[in-house]
Amino acid sequence: MILVILKDIATLCSISGVLAIILVIAHRFLNDYGIVKININGKKDINVKGGNSLLSSLADNKIFIPSACGGRGTCGACKCGITKGGGPLLPTERPLLTKEELITNTRLACQVKVKSDIYINIPENIFNIRKFNSKIVEIIDYTYDIKGVTFKLDAGEKIDFKAGQYIQLITQPYAKMRQSVSRAYSISSKPEEDDRIQLIIRYVPEGICTTWVHQQLKVGDEVSFTGPYGDFFLRDTDADILFVAGGSGKAPIKSILDHLQVVGTQRRMTYFFGARSKKDLYLTEEMKAFESVFEYFRYEPVLSQPKAEDNWDGKTGYVMPFLKETIRDPQNTEAYLCGSPGMIDAVSKALIAAGIAKDKIYFDSFG
Amino acid sequence: MKASPKEIKIMQKMQPGTITLSGFLGNDKRTLNEIIEDDFRLLNALEFTPEEIADRMQYFTDKSWNAFTDEVLIDDIYQVETEVVRGKLPCPFGHVGIYRKAITKFTNTRKNISLSWTSLNIHLIRAHGFFEGKGSSFRLEPAELVNAIFDR
Ligand SMILES: Cc1cc2nc3c(=O)[nH]c(=O)nc-3n(C[C@H](O)[C@H](O)[C@H](O)COP(=O)(O)OP(=O)(O)OC[C@H]3O[C@@H](n4cnc5c(N)ncnc54)[C@H](O)[C@@H]3O)c2cc1C
Ligand code: FES
Ligand SMILES: [Zn+2]
């Protein structure tokens, strides 16, 4: 009897074993798209192994499409035009695309799978985006939850970026994290210092990347990033400038000011920095020092809830009420904003009400 | 109970380091559906629906949103602040939607109860009746949550 049962089990096992092998082979076969072609801007073909996302297929070929969320389909930064191929639009793409983008066949490169030949259009400046390896050379505690971290590029490497742009920091596995993620951070150092970059990173409780930066990274550690990305940079005009920032939003503005100090400017500039209380202020002396560097520059920290012990005699409340009085000519004023999405909304509304054209208000739009 | 293949797929996305640092399940040994069903029974006993709770949480988050990172006193009792970080998170249920990295810190000053939730928590409760697993940093105990956000 036992022998019969064992024989039956053995037969079943061999049948399921054969079935499993067939399934594995079928899976391999069905997911083997072979080598497929990506045609870029009608000018250049690259051959890739089919089946991966357009974003990662391009990255494997050192073409880095912006991706503020690291390819999770949540930021919309990886939009690119597809003229042929790419398969049908996916439900994950729809929420991030405008009506116009839907009509013009704009897609999210991180969601599109390259299963057959595909023809894409991407801006030429994307070819300037590269992957960099670096070593941490300095970590400064700016506040209780904000650190300035400087990354020195490998010997001989240089990064060519515009003041105000951002990079994508790539984390390494740590603690329970078994995979890498990438997150966007604005560069806070000036483009003239092209063998290194500084980032200003604010700790987010239970945040994957910021916990890694704040609790794991130390001077001497090797870190990779890609970049530069973004079109938040100073426009080359002679218009008056309003900078408005909060929290870690100081980073790109610092880069722009450091750059202007090198190249010189006659532009009239006012910089409002919104914070809650004195413990959230940082780099105040450095920003104030620009008042004696530039012809016309004013740095105005504004505290919304100063504490009694702060002995604060500066501006209080939110920055919005102070904007109008600093605008000389709304037709000839540009605003550069960096901070939380709520702050950007409120400040944009106040600026538009003060007569500044919407297209003269600049900020990173994937907040 | 054994988890279904669909449930297993979602539970994989809820593991530490996939969408969030510590995941969504904490040290809970129950399956996803068991967690949701147990909390649903608790809610029934409390006579609240997930939508009512999510609406109330959204009310506080929206009211404090305009104050940026400042603390605001809402309806004379509730001290609330919402901090928004640039960037967004997806829903682990594979639902089409993305949620702000926004943390609302909430205190019912009369009952002296403090809680925190994120925009994703509001969505998880509204759309999936999911309050996260026990031991998760963002687990919201339905009874404590109801007691804190409703004045009764
Ligand atoms: C263009 C751009 C430029 C940027 N520049 C800067 C900069 O210069 N400096 C800077 O500091 N930041 C910057 N950011 C933000 C940055 O990219 C990250 O989003 C931020 O640092 C948080 O990343 P993280 O990996 O630590 O958090 P993540 O892990 O991505 O998310 C953390 C969020 O998840 C929530 N969460 C965690 N676990 C759970 C759970 N179980 N249930 C519910 N919710 C949960 C947390 O509350 C928190 O809100 C920029 C963003 C963009 C788009
Ligand atoms: S990389 Fe963020 S949506 Fe594609
Ligand atoms: Zn969902």
In the reported structure, the alpha carbon of residue A70 is separated from the centroid of ligand 2 by a whole-number distance in angstroms of 6
Strand ordering across the sheet containing A268-275? A315-316, A296-303, A268-275, A240-246, A333-338, A361-362
Can you state the angle between helices B32-46 and B142-149, rounded to 10 degrees? 40
CB A122 within 8 A of CB A108: no
Cis geometry, peptide bond prior to residue A228 (ω within 30 degrees of 0): yes
Tell me which chain B residue has its CA closest to the CA of residue A201: B85
Interface membership of A178 toward B (CB under 8 Å): yes
Structure tokens at B102: 């926004």
**A184 in contact with ligand 2, CB cutoff 6 A:** no
B137 contacts: CB under 8 Å, gap ≥ 6: A206, B22, B26
> What is residue A28's predicted lDDT score, i.e. its pLDDT?
53
> What is residue A53's predicted lDDT score, i.e. its pLDDT?
96
Structure tokens at B22: 């510590």
Inspect the interface and report whether the beta carbons of B69 and A346 lie closer than 8 Å: no
Inspect the interface and report whether the beta carbons of B17 and A178 lie closer than 8 Å: yes
pLDDT digits (tens, 9 = 90+) for B64-107: 987 777 899 999 999 999 999 998 898 999 877 789 999 999 99
Instruction: Indicate the residue of B21, B70, B84 with minimum beta-carbon distance to A207.
Output: B21
> What is residue A21's predicted lDDT score, i.e. its pLDDT?
56
Distance between CA atoms of A284 and A273, rounded to whole angstroms?
Answer: 10
Q: Which residues of B touch A73 (CB under 8 A)?
A: 90, 98
**B118 in contact with ligand 1, CB cutoff 6 A:** yes
**A214 in contact with ligand 1, CB cutoff 6 A:** no
Interface membership of A367 toward B (CB under 8 Å): yes
Nearest 5°: the CA angle A27, A32, A37 is 155
Instruction: Indicate the residue of B84, B90, B96 with minimum beta-carbon distance to A342.
Output: B84
| Dihedral of alpha carbons A111, B21, A230, A137, sign | negative
Distance between CA atoms of A140 and A217, rounded to whole angstroms?
Answer: 12
> What is residue A46's predicted lDDT score, i.e. its pLDDT?
96
Using 70 as the pLDDT threshold, list the residues of chain B that sit under it.
Answer: 1
Q: Which residues of B touch A274 (CB under 8 A)?
A: 68
Ligand 2 pocket test, candidate residues A57, A65, A92, A108, most atoms within 8 A of CB: A108
**Local mean pLDDT, 10-residue blocks, chain A (367 residues):** 50 52 54 90 95 95 87 89 94 90 95 96 91 98 97 97 96 91 95 98 96 98 96 96 95 98 97 96 97 97 96 95 96 96 93 97 83
B43 contacts: CB under 8 Å, gap ≥ 6: B49, B50, B53, B129, B142, B146
Interface membership of B71 toward A (CB under 8 Å): yes
> What is residue A30's predicted lDDT score, i.e. its pLDDT?
56
| Dihedral of alpha carbons A58, A61, A63, A67, sign | positive
Instruction: Indicate the residue of B23, B84, B98 with minimum beta-carbon distance to A95.
Output: B98
Tell me which chain A residue has its CA closest to the CA of residue B99: A74
**A66 in contact with ligand 2, CB cutoff 6 A:** no
> What is residue B120's predicted lDDT score, i.e. its pLDDT?
96
Nearest 5°: the CA angle B145, B150, B152 is 120
Q: Which residues of A touch B100 (CB under 8 A)?
A: 341
Distance between CA atoms of A117 and A35, rounded to whole angstroms?
Answer: 9
Task: Determine how β-strand B98-108 pairs with β-strand B78-90.
Answer: antiparallel
Nearest 5°: the CA angle A247, A252, A254 is 85
Cα separation values, A305 from A90, A155, A169, A276, A343, Å? 45, 46, 33, 5, 16
Classify residue A31 by burial, with Cβ atoms within 10 Å: 0-12, 13-18, 19+: exposed
* Closest to B116 in 3D by CA, of B75, B70, B60: B60
Structure tokens at B94: 């594979």
pTM for the full predicted model: 0.90
Tokens 């409120």 found at: A346
Task: Determine how β-strand A222-229 pairs with β-strand A240-246.
Answer: unpaired
Mutate to test the interface with B, among A208, A316, A345 (most CBs of B within 10 A): A208
> What is residue A11's predicted lDDT score, i.e. its pLDDT?
53
Inspect the interface and report whether the beta carbons of A346 and B16 lie closer than 8 Å: no
Instruction: Indicate the residue of B17, B86, B90 with minimum beta-carbon distance to A367.
Output: B86
| Dihedral of alpha carbons A228, A232, A237, A238, sign | negative
* Closest to B118 in 3D by CA, of B106, B103, B100, B137: B103
Task: Give the ligand with the smallest distance to the CA of A142.
Answer: 1
> What is residue B103's predicted lDDT score, i.e. its pLDDT?
95
